[in-house]
Structure 1
Amino acid sequence: MKFIVYNVRDDEIPFIEKWGKDHKIEVKYTTTTLTQETVQEAAGFDGVSCLQTIPYSKELFDAFNKMGIKYLSLRNVGVDNVDLAAAKGNGVQITNVPAYSPESIAEFAVTMALYLSRRVGYMKQQLDQNHQFHFSPNFMGRLISDQTVGIIGTGRIGREAIKLFKGLGANVIAYDKYPQKSTNGQFVYVKDLADIYTKSDIISIHMPATDDNYHQFNHEVFEQMKDTALLINTARGSIVDTNDLMYALQSGEIAGAGIDTIEAETADLQDSRSTKQVSDPDVLKFSMMPNVLITPHSAFHTSESVRNMIDISLSNLMTMVNGEKPKDLVN
């Protein structure tokens, strides 16, 4: 039994090596992005582990079939970039890691909300541009405890975010197509998304990307939101229309945004060794706006998350190769 791990970052290597040693299984790792052109590196291996936001295409799974590879274990939650029909058609079983560290992403969402609520971007802009600090009306922030936070998606990550926002004293409301049976008194479900849009001072997105929520946050929604509202997206870029968000921020339809994920993320984003300068015009525009905090899809990135992603992904591969059904099977 031997596995290959694609798109490996430097911080993952110690955990990969430890897992292989502990389980006495050969594990090769590569920084290469997994595509139909690079899949040949997996020749002779029993299973593949991968982490990327670019597509896993039909052509890739066709190549898996020709090479006799039947197992792909993702090191992340989302599968919206996976051609699941093509995987099934080629007999490829896929697992994910549905809960590598909900706390990590929830904490980051709250961090973004605090940064924006306390207008840190405006302070930083003054220092960067004028090389001086002095009190300014632009610096006056708001307490989280004075705000209503709307959580969209009350799965593992959403519930952790609720706990943290509630701990800071926020009034929390939430929406989910499939609500939890109990809220433990921490929040109140609303029946309509419009209530989230119109009543929230901060909206934090914690739902997977689906065809139904593509560009869910668009011009019409931004018009419904308070002009003092903040939007936090640590979920998936496709949920927010980038052009409409840019207009909403520039025109004052909303007050600010925390953007950890954006549409059309490239493979370079997952390459921890890349020295390329950012060239995406939208990313550059957002980065220069004091009412925006944009980060490189790193909300998950803590030592606990990385360890869990590796351990669970490789253990899922071992389970499948042993002919057993893993609990994290996607298809």
Structure 2
Amino acid sequence: MKFIAYNVRDDEIPFIEKWGKDNQTEVSYTTTTLTQETIEEARGFDGISGLQTIDYSRSLFEDFKKLGIRYLSLRNVGTDNVDLQAAADNGVTVTNVPAYSPESIAEFAVTMALYLSRKVGYMQQQLRQKQQFHFSPDFMGRLMSEQTVGIVGTGRIGRHAIQLFEGLGAKVIAYDKYPVKNKFHYTNNLQELVAQSDIISIHMPATKDNYHEFNHETFEAMKDTALLINTARGSIVDTNDLIYALQSGEIAGAGIDTIENESADLQDSRSTKQVNNADVIKLSMMPNVLITPHSAFHTTRSVMNMVNISMNNLKDLYAGETVADIVK
């Protein structure tokens, strides 16, 4: 029994090595992304652990079959970049880590909301441009307890976000296609939530149905003082429409941890390449935007859990045991 982990960051290496030692299992790792060009490195291994935002395609799963590899264990939650039908057609079982640390992402969403609510970006811009500080009406913020926060998606992360925002005194409303009965104050539809919220925080998985759910029409329906926080998936928000909404004043600000068409370099801990995504650069120049490199999850607890759960899933699959994290 031996496994290989792809796209391994420096912070994951100690946990991978410890897991291998504790489980007396050979585990190799590489910093390269899993593609048709790199899968040859997995020859002779019994399973692959992966973490990436680029596609796991049909042709890639066909290569799995050629190499006799039957298991792909993701170190993340999202599966929108996985061709699950192709995996099944080629006899590959896919698992994910549905809850490595919901608190980490929820805390980051609250951090973004506080940063934007208190106009920190405007203060930073003034310091960069003028090397001075002075009070300005542009810097006047809003208390969280004065705001209505709309949580879109009440899974594990969304529920933690509700708890944190309520702890700061905010009024919280929620929308989910599958609401938790008698648990939260749900709106009847997303449009109702959008119209009422001062802050909207997205915590739902990406699906075909919610592709560009937040678009020009949605931004027009939001308050012009509203903030949008996205720590979920980039495809849920139409980036071009978001930029227009921010520039035109349709909304007041945005916290963006994930954006459409994220490159493999984004999760390469050794990458020294400069950012060349025009949308990222444009958003980063706006004082009413906080943009980060898909790092809401990034805490010690998250990294440890992502590695351990992914590797445990591979071990259990190989042993023929029941695995709860199989993605269907």
Q: Distance in 2 between matches of 1:84 and 1:182?
A: 34
In structure 1, the residue matched to 2:120 is: 120
Q: CA deviation at 1:192?
A: 1.1
Look up the match of 1:196. 193
Deviation at 1:37, TM superposition (A): 1.0
1:145-294 equivalent positions in 2, closer than 5 A: 145-183=145-183, 187-294=184-291
Write the deviation string for residues 30-84 of structure 1: whole angstroms up to 9, x where unpaired: 0010001100000000000000000000010000000000000000000000000
The structure 1 residue matched to 2:304, chosen from 304, 307, 310, is 307
Amino acid in structure 1 at the alignment position of 2:128: D
SS of residue paired to 1:123: helix
Partner of 2:133: 133
Aligned ranges for residues 89-108 of structure 1 at < 5 Å?
Answer: 89-108=89-108
Counterpart of 1:188 in structure 2: which amino acid?
Answer: H
Q: Which amino acid aligns with 1:43?
A: R
1:145 deviates by 0.4
Report how far residue 325 of structure 1 moved: 2.3
- How many angstroms does 1:181 deviate by? 2.4
Q: Distance in 2 between matches of 1:192 and 1:216?
A: 13
> Which AA in structure 1 matches 2:300?
S
Matched residue SS, 1:261: coil
- Distance, in Å, in 2 between the alignment partners of 1:53 and 1:145 is 36
| Distance in 2 (alpha carbons) for counterparts of 1:323 and 1:87 | 18
User: What's the offset of the Cα at 1:182?
Assistant: 3.4
Question: 1 CA distance for matches of 2:203 and 2:277?
Answer: 25
Instruction: Give the drift of 1:270.
Output: 1.0
Q: Which consecutive unaligned segments of at least 5 residues does structure 2 have?
A: none
Deviation at 1:117, TM superposition (A): 0.1
- Within 1, Cα distance between the matches of 2:35 and 2:23? 28
Structure 1 position 157, deviation (Å): 0.1
Give the letter aligned to residue 63 of structure 1: D
> 1:324: how far off?
1.6
Structure 2 residue identity aligned to 1:17: E
| Structure 2 counterpart SS, 1:173 | strand
Matching residue's letter, 1:141: G
Query: For residue 285 of structure 1, what is the amino acid of its counterpart?
Result: K
State the one-letter code of the partner of 2:92. Answer: V
> In structure 1, how many angstroms separate the alpha carbons of the residues matched to 2:180 and 2:58?
35
Classify the secondary structure of the residue corresponding to 1:257.
strand
Give, as a single letter, the amino acid of the residue that structure 2 aligns with 1:82. V
CA distance in 2, matches of 1:190, 1:199: 10
* TM-align CA RMSD: 0.5
1:66-116 alpha-carbon deviations (Å, 9 max, x no partner): 000000000000000000010000000000000000000000000000000
Distance in 1 between residues matched to 2:317 and 2:179, nearest whole Å: 32
Cα distance, 1:319 vs structure 2 = 0.4
The residue that corresponds to 1:31 in the other structure is: 31
TM-score by length of 1: 0.99
Runs of 4+ aligned residues of structure 1 deviating over 3 Å after TM superposition are none
The structure 2 residue matched to 1:327, chosen from 321, 324, 327, is: 324
Matched with 1:75 is: 75
1:144 maps to amino acid: M
TM-score normalised per structure 2:
0.99
Aligned residue number for residue 52 of structure 1:
52
The alignment partner of 1:188 has SS state of coil
SS where residue 189 of structure 1 aligns?
coil
Alpha-carbon displacement from aligned partner over 1:198-239 (angstroms, at most 9, x marks no partner): 000000000000000000000000000000000000000000
CA distance in 2, matches of 1:193, 1:304: 32
CA distance in 2, matches of 1:68, 1:280: 37
Q: Percent identity?
A: 76
Distance (whole Å) between structure 2 residues aligned to residue 182 and residue 105 of structure 1: 24
Following the alignment from structure 1 to structure 2, what is the Cα–Cα distance between the partners of residues 196 and 258?
Answer: 18
What are the superposed Cα offsets for residues 1-52 of structure 1, whole Å, 9 maximum, x if unpaired? 0000000000000000000000000000100100011000000000000000
